Structure 1
Amino acid sequence: MSQALIFDMDGTLFQTDKILEISLDDTFNHLRSLDHWEGVTPIDTYREIMGVPLPIVWETLLPNHSIELREQTDSYFLKRLVTNIKNGKGALYPNVKEVFSCLKKNNISIYIASNGLTAYLKAIVEYYELNIWLTETYSIEQIESLNKSDLVRSIIDKHGITSGAVVGDRLSDIKAAKENGLVSIGCNFDFARKDELSQAAVVIDDLLEIESIIPTLTTFPVNELLLNNIGGK
């Protein structure tokens, strides 16, 4: 039996909010300098759609701009995100490394499945030295459909995962768990929404709560009623 926890990155492991506004401001200042944008940076709109793949982000934030300009903006934004990460302006959520260490001690493999791009995820993993615990990190750009459920399915198939959970803060993470026969653990963190979290098997307010869930992951399929009692959803 192969057990695993598959984590989202933004709003789950990494406090994206700490670098989001400054990176988006950098990007829209760049657009203003090129006369491609007027007005304030649409940070509130971005917060509303946080968690979707970046192509959809730019379709939403720049609906009247060309695909070429959106792609250029995406590239510039990614560079700003990576620079801000490497400059130490971001942060992990509390207890990430403690939970990772506990999972490894219990022989549970750890993966990341994120809507973030590969270079962005690599910058976070390297800066915070997460590879000590991670088996592998996956970006949505590795899946043609840009669908989180498909990304999780590819991880399950490649590594022969038979039980475990998907840990994340948004509905795409919860669906990815349910559609692949894994437990859905919803993180009640910065970008989470109550209506989405209500669909998770477990809702946690601190990553340390995962440690109490570990014993239930030894069976497949998992008893979600038991998990609800543990998570206090």
Structure 2
Amino acid sequence: MLFDLDGTLFKTESLLVTVQRRVFETLREEGLYTEPEPPIERLLGSLGMLLDHIWLRVMPDGSTEARQRANELLLQYELEELEAGVGELYEWVPETLRTLKERGIRLFVASNGLESYVKEVPRLRGIGDLFEGFYSAGEYETATKAELVRLLLEKHGIRSAWMIGDRSSDVDAGLRNGLFVVGCDYAGFRKEGELDGSGAVIREFPELLTLLDAAAEA
């Protein structure tokens, strides 16, 4: 099973509200962006995109320098806040992942985020040891989620897998690589129709176990 991170395992808004405020306070102090702070919904609605595309959407009126600095600050403040205990996993994520691993399922993370963020969130929230690998666009410099997933599958010789995520990029990545796609409909900031094409949609994380049982009986 290949898991997206934000909006799938990690309740990103529990971290980003604080982080975005700090990012724009610093940009303002440094004179790089003087407009009002954008609504947090714009950032949350951009999750799943590559970072360069996120900042173009969040502050289209910002300079290239401001967006590059925002990238640096985002990672710095995310890691600081995570270390301080800010940010939480969705309910039942640790328990469900442990059950899956006990059943012999190989677990991976595949995210369009930065390398250190994608590795540190699971580690700092106590689930890092459950995963066989962490794949990020930041580390592998992939242009799409589909490309990242293809690389993961090839590297580990995986022929059959599930892609689990909350964004259209996850659905696309799964379908383009011939995987069964499970759409996660509990994050609250997806667009209408974003999970179209999923083989199944769950509204609570433990429903994965029910799907697995049903697949085993089929």
Query: Structure 1 length normalisation: TM-score?
Result: 0.86
1:192 aligns to 2:190 (yes or no): yes
Q: Aligned residues: percent identity?
A: 31
Aligned residue for 2:6? 10
**For residues 154-195 of structure 1, what are the alpha-carbon distances to aligned partners after superposition, in whole Å with 9 as ceiling and x for unaligned?**
110011112120000010001111111111100011223341
Point out the more displaced range, 45-54 or 174-183.
Answer: 45-54
Q: Distance in 1 between the 2:156 and 2:216 partners?
A: 17
1:165 aligns to 2:178 (yes or no): no
Deviation of the 1:126 alpha carbon: 1.6
Q: Distance in 2 between the 1:9 and 1:96 partners?
A: 11
Aligned counterpart for 1:116 among listed residues 101, 109, 113: 113
User: Which stretches of structure 1, 4 residues or longer, exceed 4 Å deviation after superposition?
Assistant: 215-219
Q: Distance in 1 between the 2:141 and 2:77 partners?
A: 25
AA at the equivalent of 1:12: T
Aligned residue for 1:87? 84
Q: Distance in 1 between the 2:214 and 2:179 partners?
A: 12
1:40 aligns to 2:37 (yes or no): yes
* Structure 1 residues 184-223: aligned runs within 5 Å: 184-190=181-187, 191-215=189-213
Gap regions ≥5 residues in structure 2: none
Point out the more displaced range, 9-18 or 206-215.
Answer: 206-215
Q: Distance in 2 between the 1:130 and 1:19 partners?
A: 17
Secondary structure of the structure 1 residue equivalent to 2:36: coil
CA 215–163 in structure 1, closer or farther in 2 if over 3 Å, else same = farther
**For residues 49-71 of structure 1, what are the alpha-carbon distances to aligned partners after superposition, in whole Å with 9 as ceiling and x for unaligned?**
22211111112223333323321
Contact 1:164 1:217 in 2 (8 A): no
Contact 2:123 2:129 in 1 (8 A): no
Query: Structure 2 length normalisation: TM-score?
Result: 0.92
1:136 aligns to 2:126 (yes or no): no
Secondary structure of the structure 2 residue equivalent to 1:189: coil
Q: Distance in 2 between the 1:173 and 1:199 partners?
A: 10
Deviation of the 1:143 alpha carbon: 3.6
Q: Distance in 1 between the 2:142 and 2:3 partners?
A: 19
Deviation of the 1:212 alpha carbon: 1.7
Secondary structure of the structure 2 residue equivalent to 1:155: helix
Aligned counterpart for 1:125 among listed residues 116, 122, 127: 122
Gap regions ≥5 residues in structure 1: 220-225, 227-233
Secondary structure of the structure 2 residue equivalent to 1:82: helix
How many residues get paired?
Answer: 216
AA at the equivalent of 2:30: L
